[in-house]
Structure 1
Amino acid sequence: MKKRIMGVLLAAICAIGLIGCGNTNNSGTSTKKEDTTKASYIVRIGMPTAGKHFQNFTAEQYKETIEKATNGDIIVEIYPSSQLGTATQMIQGVQDGSIEGVMIPSSYFCSFAPASAVTDIPFFFEDSQQIFDILNTPDNPLNVYLEKYGFKVAAWFKNTPRYILSQKKYESIADMKNQKIWCLPSRTLQKELNAYAASPQTLDPSDISVSLENGTVDGVETDVLFMNSTGLGASAKYLNKIPNTPMTNLFCFGKDWFDKLPKDYQELLINTANDIIRTQEIPYVEKQYNGSLQALQDLGVEIVEPNDALITELKEKSESVTDSFINESEENSEIYHELSEMILNYTK
């Protein structure tokens, strides 16, 4: 009963936040209507998240810094909660120029640039720090690759591990058999769940909470910050800390739009994104991660640490996912081997 009441209160708070999202300028809300008549450039940035999610926090810091640095010559408009369309529609909009920028998990790009799913290969990157450091180096081959498909990378976010929030405790792969688990729309992630004998589910993020509550899905595979910001803990019993592989999110612009900007503005947009992520987003994520774990526990969710035997099972079963990715195309193979070399030479 206590858990249900807390869940209802959380849902009400979220609803109030969404109702006000067109008028406020707090983290996770859309930008107030501003006088844009004196601005030379309007930068509309879409994202599927809301509330205190790190994408929304970063967007607000970015807006403030860019507008101040250009004395209002560049106006940044923030559109949270998929106000500019679904994740796929927003990425399409960036690609065709109808939207200037997007902040979103990189897994959504695989339908547009298939080799970008390399970031989803299970147990490829060691942890969240390693994937962040490597992807934010000038030698990252994904940046050049994504430009071929119309995307100009501004920066890669620091995210947290991928876990599974569910109604069932997973102590072996056998426990995952036939479990309907939502994951991001990446073929690599779907193949990974299939390798564990689970059944991957793809739903719009706005439908996840209800689906978990009514049993349409048995679990949700994502980061704990998203789980907490969307109130998923009210509908689940266990947080299984598997597969414990790093997630990453991407901030990018449409390449055609970006290339038409003055050189100094191009440098400003890119440098500001990287500075804010390194100086503000990273400590924010670390704080929110611990707070999100505690919030889930406060709702009665049990944290399940995996045993060594389960981790070994997961790694063995997922080897086929890596092979499948490499063999899918020459581009996939090239990107994989370039990043493999960077991982081999990586030092913290």
Structure 2
Amino acid sequence: MAVIKTLTVALAASLTFGTAAFAQEFTARLSLDVQEGNPKYVAAENFANAVSEATDGAVKFQLFANGLLGGEVESAEGMRLGSVQAGIITSSVFATWIPEVQVLDLPFLFRDDAHAAAANAVLTERLASKFEEQGFHLLGFSINGARQPMSTFPVDAPSDVAGKKIRVIQSPIHIALWEAVGARPVPIPASEVYNAMQTGVVDMFDNTATNYLTFRFYEVAPHYTDLRHVYAMGSWVVAKSWWDSLPGEYQQSITKAATEVQAEAGPLLAEVDAASLAETEKLGATLHVVSDKQPWIELMEPVLAKFAPQIPGAEETIGAIKAIE
């Protein structure tokens, strides 16, 4: 009888443990460098809600806006260390670990917003294993925004920027692409852009439409030009250690939710960008659209030709992107 009792207790304990394991909740801290209401935040919020609904609340993504968990570099490092579980982080941040992502900084890689959005599947397929090797699980990409010239003077043709001092991010590619059109690149941290423009250290810089309004850049750069020479892409990543702890069915739910929300992110961003630019016009900004991009493309083509061979797998990735109709 003692043996039967022991077996009964063990079986009950096993069933209880199994039920608890199945009912286990998985919570992830998702880091964002933008404020609430920003299109990237809204996309992350839609994603978190979709995942919670698909898993009956078993998987929860807690959103931390305004860089509360650190900047983008710190958040990426946090995922490798386990202090952060997820984020939508600008792709160039990962270049230290995954040099293949530098392909996204090449000029005129995408024809337009729709082409950039359509490249998600190709980029994810080609880069997922590279992220995995470095401790990240890649869920895909979405557009953070297209980089646009913002200046103290009108910009249409490359000759308009010849000799002008332009603030650039600290990237050899970005320095080279502006040198190619005759400008004088000056690497300056993002936090110092407004003051650099205000004091005349630089004459122009490039950034995204939403930031033109949000950071009041129109005050120091009253001319905004639609050029879209480089797209800033957001990498949707989760810590591999956290991802590996999830049951397969939850992984499938997360992947599905991410893919669906990423498809919606582009139109949402376009809508917010349009509203932001309209508001800057009311505040005195002048908006320009480049009448002919071909001169820009031709002058920046050597930059692509120079740097692509230096980026692992870039030529194949570029070919796959160009083939997207």
Would you call these one fold, judging by a TM-score over 0.5?
Answer: yes
Task: Show the 5 A alignment for 1:196-345.
Answer: 196=181, 197-204=183-190, 206-279=191-264, 281-308=265-292, 311-329=293-311, 331=312, 334=313, 336-345=314-323
Counterpart of 1:190 in structure 2 is 175
Counterpart of 1:125 in structure 2 is 110
Alpha-carbon contact 1:58-1:277 (below 8 Å) kept: yes
Give the C-alpha shift of residue 88 in structure 1.
1.5
Cα distance change of structure 1 residues 88 and 139 upon mapping to structure 2, 3 Å threshold: closer
Aligned residue identity for 1:166 = S
Counterpart of 1:103 in structure 2 is 88
Please give the alpha-carbon distance, in whole angstroms, between the structure 2 residues aligned to 1:316 and 1:114: 25
Please give the alpha-carbon distance, in whole angstroms, between the structure 1 residues aligned to 2:63 and 2:287: 34
Question: Over aligned residue pairs, what C-alpha RMSD do you find?
Answer: 2.5
Query: TM-score scaled to structure 2, two decimals?
Result: 0.82
Counterpart of 1:168 in structure 2 is 153
Which sections of structure 2, spanning at least 5 residues, go unmatched? 1-22
Counterpart of 1:19 in structure 2 is none
Please give the alpha-carbon distance, in whole angstroms, between the structure 1 residues aligned to 2:246 and 2:123: 21
Of structures 1 and 2, the larger Rg is shown by 2
Please give the alpha-carbon distance, in whole angstroms, between the structure 2 residues aligned to 1:179 and 1:94: 40
Query: TM-score scaled to structure 1, two decimals?
Result: 0.78
Aligned residue identity for 2:54 = A
Task: Show the 5 A alignment for 1:47-86.
Answer: 47-86=32-71
SS in 2 for 1:248: strand
SS in 2 for 1:98: coil
SS in 2 for 1:300: coil
Cα distance change of structure 1 residues 176 and 319 upon mapping to structure 2, 3 Å threshold: same
- Alignment coverage as a number of residue pairs: 302
Aligned residue identity for 2:188 = T
SS in 2 for 1:152: strand
Report percent identity of matched pairs: 20
The answer on 1:346 being equivalent to 2:324 is: yes
Alpha-carbon contact 1:107-1:117 (below 8 Å) kept: yes
Moved more, 87-96 or 213-222: 213-222
Alpha-carbon contact 1:63-1:76 (below 8 Å) kept: yes
Counterpart of 2:13 in structure 1 is none
Please give the alpha-carbon distance, in whole angstroms, between the structure 2 residues aligned to 1:313 and 1:276: 36
Please give the alpha-carbon distance, in whole angstroms, between the structure 2 residues aligned to 1:260 and 1:312: 49
Which sections of structure 1, spanning at least 5 residues, go unmatched? 1-37
Please give the alpha-carbon distance, in whole angstroms, between the structure 2 residues aligned to 1:168 and 1:264: 55
Counterpart of 1:5 in structure 2 is none
Aligned residue identity for 1:338 = E
Aligned residue identity for 1:91 = A
Please give the alpha-carbon distance, in whole angstroms, between the structure 1 residues aligned to 2:245 and 2:24: 16
From 102, 123, 128, give the equivalent of 1:143: 128
